[in-house]
Amino acid sequence: MAEAYDFRNIEPKWRERWEFDATYRARSDGRPKYYVLEMLPYPSGDLHVGHAKNYSFGDAIARMTRMRGYDVLHPMGFDAFGLPAENAAIDRGVDPAAWTVENIANMQRQIRLMGTGYDWSREIATCFPEYYRWNQWLFLRLYERGLAYKREAPVNWCPHDKTVLANEQVIDGRCWRCNHLVERRNLSQWFLKITAYADRLLANLDKLEGWPERTKTMQRNWIGRSEGVRFDFAVDGLDETVPVFTTRIDTAFGATFLAIAPEHPMVARLRSIVPPERFDAVTAFAERVAGKSELERTSLLEKEGVFTGAYAINPLSGARVPIYATNYVLADYGTGAVMGVPAHDQRDAEFARKYELPSVTVVVPVDDDRARIEGAAFVDDGRLTDSGKYDGMTSAQARVAMAADLAQRGLGEVTVTTRIRDWLVSRQRYWGTPIPIVYCDGCGEVPVPDDQLPVLLPPGAPVDGEGSPLARMESFVNTTCPRCGKPARRETDTMDTFFESSWYYLRYLSPHDSVAPWERADANAWMNVDQYIGGAEHTVLHLLYARFFYMFFHDNRWVGGNDEPFERLFHQGMVLKDSEKMSKSRGNVVGVDETAERYGVDAMRLFLLYVTPPEDTAEWTDEGISGRVRFLNRVWRACEPLFGKPYASDGRLPAADEADDRTLLRAVHVAAKSALDETLSRRFHFNATIAKLDELVNALTAAARDRSGSPVTAYAVHALPILIAPFAPHIAEELWERLGHAVSVHLQRFIEPDERALAVAEIELVVQVNGKIRARLAVAPDISAERAYELAQENPAVRAQLESGELRKQIFVPGKLLNLVVS
RNA sequence: GGGGAAGUGGCGGAACGGUAGACGCAGCCGCCUCAAAAGCGGCCGAGGAAACUUGUGAGGGUUCGAAUCCCUCCUUCCCUACCA
């Protein structure tokens, strides 16, 4: 009995060889470049088959592209700063650096175990000074241009743990660790001015043709550009105005109150003109609302408010309306104040009903037959009424006219408001990049000079969850002012880890550079990322931040080409087990280690690519992967007869005269064409390609029974390792070697689909009568319409149908079908 | 409330206006075997003995022809959410 396919020996053997031979290193040798990248992973725990799906997919694309003659850059690294390491430190007293290094080692081992073809010579880990010094360098460049700045902002603060919490660490308004109510505190925070790029981030989306439409839509919504009018309400009895923003200025005559955020600066200034008890009530309400986390505050459906005791004058209608402090107006969107129009805004309607404020209809539907829903505001455009000189105008006309009038009176202007806010990048945390700023009593805020970078993250900080560890390290805090040399204090906040991941794709290009984060020449050579792969959960955060950074780099001429980093984007789907997301708490995690040990890596990779199209959610089943193990065994047996016979095929297309040979030859090229088509179309539906490989192996199995010695069989056997190489790299390499080849199968050219091999001698021509199939005729592929019609008439079933009426029309699709229209 | 994606056999899926269900999983039958496993061959949407009829969430439309394009509705999943 011949030797069976033994993945336990074969797979590790080839991984070592590839590593030793640097098989997957990008060469920069003049071939066209291709940069394929999976999103920078966080090195957490063990990999499961969900991760494996992502890596199998990216690796298949990289391998296919390399075999098509491209110089492929496919790097890997680790997003190594962040909370899990710090939490491990807090909970178990371990050193975050040691914990992270250990995790990286394990994850590297597992990624290598998968046989992925990364260029490890370019590996990065963001927690090392060689990387994060460039974070600091980039931060300083942003700072110099006014794009990084510090201001007071409300953050989640746990009074018990004395620390700031991320939004996701606030559960039902309480601290996830100690369960104390979280407060919102105004703290001085660092921001990046992404809003300065809002218009460009939005406009450029139209150019990103290789991005999924839904991702672009989500980014558009996130940026949330609204065109409207900003105009001023005068406060009655006070020489002050409250600006409001609205997209529906046409409803201005329907404003029956003015709603302002409790944090609005006007609240304090009303003290002099309102009764003291009203002022106290407003202050109490503001404190109550402000103490709540944004999460809790916005998830409250009930609208609440307090009358301030003051009134404002509507500049258009002249109406005097009460000013309310409310919980549903956000302080940091628009102007923090809105005109309340119960008749034409659903939120205002709910608020007005609760506080018994009047509703005045000023827009009526143009076609009145639409059924009105009781209690609902009429929010559509219509025709104006009870709006003074604007009566009779359409909403669109009124918007123009009112904006013009306000502008002329100097009381308002057409303006644009965006939903996106500046990016809060400072964290009162330890395990991150120190922000390179020094505070000096004499000089103020002083940036650390480039030649003093990196500001090292000091070891041995008190990481115990009791507030900012760096702030409690005297040795870190105390320094000298870079400007005047006097004693000064360091900034003790660290950066959000999204900072690192906003530019890492450039560091791969010059990974060991010690004079710049990357070389412009390298960026010119490799950017853009041709294919970016990652989960849809990063749609608005990472992908927006990275685009913002890249625009900044482009504006500074640090990169050439266009101002978008990612040419094409692909969101891979998840892998479920028992129809549920894999998680430790559910106990349904299918690990990479166990799966590789049990079934082999190649079978795992094949199954993950085969079970669904890559963008779909897949379901893990043990039966499913068993099918791929069977497939690989069949592949092995098909090739086995030619082991050690290097001259059985020279790889050139053999003549195929017999029908069986032609079928086999065709199966080879159908599979090759599928792989190529899926790659070129960027659908990457390799599940369809692998199905064609199944058919090829079925054909080979049949051939082995009948005529194992034919030149076409030998050709197909030699083609098979090349065809499966992108998907099952280990077995492909082993077979290739056993078939007598010395150079890696992964450095071979992929099989170019050949028209002669794809051609068939005979096709089945479908004959329809009035669209219903009545016959299938075996004919030559190039049969003419006339001849097809003649043959169709000879067919009894067709003839019977034709007799039922008169032939009106013939539709002939060459090589496919003939449709006869009879009536 | 807003946005997006998707509904095809027992299951995963294939079919980018032209033969619906490729390929695989599960199941059934056979060969091989003392037997089992593995392997190999065959069957496998529904109704029907067959001819044939019917069938891609529901309904309508466009077309010689629709799973595919358009409209209405239903269902599921994902994202987002008091954004004025």
Nearest residue, CA→C1' of B14: A688
pLDDT at A712 > cutoff 50: yes
Check whether residue A347 has its CB closer than 7 Å to nucleic acid strand B: yes
Is strand B in 7 Å reach of the CB of A581?
no
**Would you state the pLDDT for residue A761?**
85
Instruction: Give the bases of strand B that a protein CB approaches within 7 Å.
Output: 2-5, 11-16, 18-20, 22-26, 38-41, 52-53, 64-66, 77-84
What's the gap between Cα A527 and its chain centre? 19
Residue A811 CB in 7 A reach of strand B: yes
Residue A84 pLDDT:
84
* pLDDT tens per residue across span A300-328: 557 888 999 999 999 999 999 999 999 88
Protein CA A370 to sugar C1' B58 (Å): 26
Q: End-to-end distance of chain A based on CA atoms, in angstroms? A: 66
Angstrom distance (rounded) from CA A169 to CA A76:
29
Find the residue closest to B77 using CA and C1' atoms: A617
Give the distance, in angstroms, between residue A31 CA and nucleotide B57 C1': 50
pLDDT per residue over A19-45, tens digit each? Answer: 999 999 998 888 999 999 999 999 988
What is the pLDDT at residue A167? 58
Answer yes or no: is A622 CB < 7 A from strand B: no
Nearest residue, CA→C1' of B66: A771
A180 touches strand B (CB under 7 A): no
CA pseudo-torsion sign A397, A401, A402, A407? positive
Which residues have a Cβ under 8 Å from the Cβ of A499 and sit 6 or more positions away?
A135, A138, A139, A425, A433, A545
The stretch A47-58 carries a mean pLDDT of 92
CA–CA gap between residue A222 and residue A608 (Å, rounded):
33
Query: Which pLDDT value is given to residue A170?
Result: 60
| Consecutive H or E run containing A99 | helix A96-113
pLDDT confidence of residue A108? 95
Share the mean pLDDT of chain A.
89
Q: Which nucleotide is nearest to A692 if distance is taken from CA to C1'?
A: B23
Q: Report which DSSP code applies to A235.
A: E
Please check whether strand B approaches the CB of A352 to within 7 Å: no
List Cβ<8 Å contacts ≥24 apart for A626-633.
A626/A599, A628/A599, A628/A603, A628/A604, A629/A599, A629/A600, A629/A603, A631/A603, A631/A606, A631/A693, A631/A694, A631/A697, A632/A5, A632/A7, A632/A600, A632/A602, A632/A603, A632/A606, A632/A728, A632/A731, A633/A4, A633/A5
Instruction: Give the highest mean pLDDT range of A91-95, A541-545, A601-605.
Output: A601-605
The CA–C1' separation of A658 and B19, in angstroms, is 26
Cα–Cα nearest to A508, from A142, A139, A211, A118? A118
For A449-471, write each residue's pLDDT tens digit: 999 999 999 998 888 877 788 99
Q: Which helix (H) or strand (E) covers residue A599, if one does?
A: helix A592-599
pTM of structure: 0.91
| β-pair type (A763-769, A817-822) | parallel
**d(CA A766, C1' B50) / Å:** 23
pLDDT at A588: 85
A538 — pLDDT class (breaks 50, 70, 90):
confident
Q: Which of residues 71-130 of A touch strand B (CB under 7 A)?
A: none
How far, in Å, is the CA of A180 from the C1' of nucleotide B26?
A: 52
Q: Alpha helix (H) ranges present in A115-185?
A: 129-144
| Residue linked to tokens 């309480």 | A174
At A373 the pLDDT is 54
Q: Cβ of A701 < 7 Å from strand B? A: yes
On the question of pLDDT at A89 being above 90, the answer is: no
Å: A773 CA to B47 C1': 19
Q: Rounded to whole angstroms, how far apart are CA atoms A689 and A38?
A: 22
Q: Is strand B less than 7 A from the beta carbon of A344?
A: no
Residue A476: predicted pLDDT? 95
Tell whether the model's pLDDT for residue A374 goes beyond 60.
Answer: no
Higher-confidence residue: A86 or A176?
Answer: A86
A345 touches strand B (CB under 7 A): yes
CA of A773, C1' of B17: distance in angstroms? 16
The alpha-helical segments, DSSP class H, found in A145-242 are: 198-203, 213-223
Residues 658-697 of A with CB under 7 A from strand B: 681, 683, 685, 687-688, 690-691, 694-695
Residue type, A744: S
| Cβ contact A763 with chain B strand, < 7 A | yes
> Does residue A624 approach strand B to less than 7 Å at its CB?
yes
* CB distance A529 to A559 below 8 Å: no
* Interface pTM, i.e. ipTM: 0.94
**Predicted pLDDT of residue A295:** 47
User: What's the CA–C1' distance between A772 and B55, in Å?
Assistant: 14
Q: Which nucleotide is nearest to A626 (CA to C1')?
A: B25
Confidence of residue A704 (pLDDT cuts 50, 70, 90): confident
Helix (H) or strand (E) run with residue A504 in it: helix A504-507
The pLDDT of residue A468 is: 83
pLDDT in tens, A325-344: 998 888 878 899 999 999 99
**A187-205 pLDDT, tens digit each:** 888 989 998 999 899 989 8
How large a percentage of chain A has pLDDT more than 90? 56
Token digits for A645? Answer: 């016979």
Q: How far apart are CA A556 and CA A509, in angstroms?
A: 18
pLDDT, tens digit (0-9, with 9 covering 90-100), for A1-18: 346 689 999 999 999 999
Rounded alpha-carbon distances, angstroms, from residue A74 to A35, A69, A169, A529, A564: 6, 15, 35, 10, 19
- Per-residue flag: A250 CB under 7 A of strand B: no
Residue A93 predicted with pLDDT over 70: yes
Whether the upstream peptide bond of residue A129 has omega within 30° of 0, thus cis, is no
A195: phi then psi, degrees, rounded to nearest 5? -65, -25
Distance CA A761, CA A781 (A): 7
Residue A530, CA distances (Å) to A79, A157, A205, A615, A698 in order: 21, 42, 16, 18, 35
CA dihedral A643, A66, A64, A733 (to 10 degrees): 20
Nearest nucleotide over every DNA/RNA strand to the A683 CA, judged by C1': B16
User: What is the CA A622 to C1' B8 distance in angstroms?
Assistant: 24
Positions 310-339 of A with beta carbon below 7 A from strand B are 327-330, 333-336, 338-339
**Residue A250 near residue A398, CB atoms below 8 Å:** yes
How do residues A469-528 score in pLDDT, each as one tens digit? 899 999 999 999 999 999 999 999 999 888 999 999 999 999 999 999 999 999 999 999
DSSP strand E in A334-486: where? 337-340, 363-364, 383-384, 412-417, 423-424, 426-427, 437-440, 444-447, 478-480
- pLDDT digits 0-9 by tens, A428-452: 889 999 999 999 999 999 999 999 9
* Whether pLDDT at A103 is above 90: yes
Question: Which residues lie closer than 8 Å to A236 by C-beta, 6 or more apart?
Answer: A310, A311, A312, A313, A320
Q: Where are the alpha helices (DSSP H) in A682-764?
A: 686-707, 711-724, 729-738, 755-758
Query: Residue A346 and residue A21: Cα distance in Å, rounded?
Result: 67
> With 80 as the cut, is the pLDDT of residue A157 above it?
no
Band of pLDDT at residue A636, cut at 50, 70 and 90: very high
Q: Which amino acid is at A531?
A: Q
Contact A620, A49 (CB under 8 A): yes
A246 touches strand B (CB under 7 A): yes
Quote the pLDDT of residue A176. 63
Per-residue confidence (pLDDT) for residue A1, from 0 to 100: 38
CA of A466 to C1' of B30 (A): 73
Q: Which of residues 288-307 of A touch strand B (CB under 7 A)?
A: 297-303
What residues form DSSP beta bridges with A232? A243
pLDDT at A168: 54
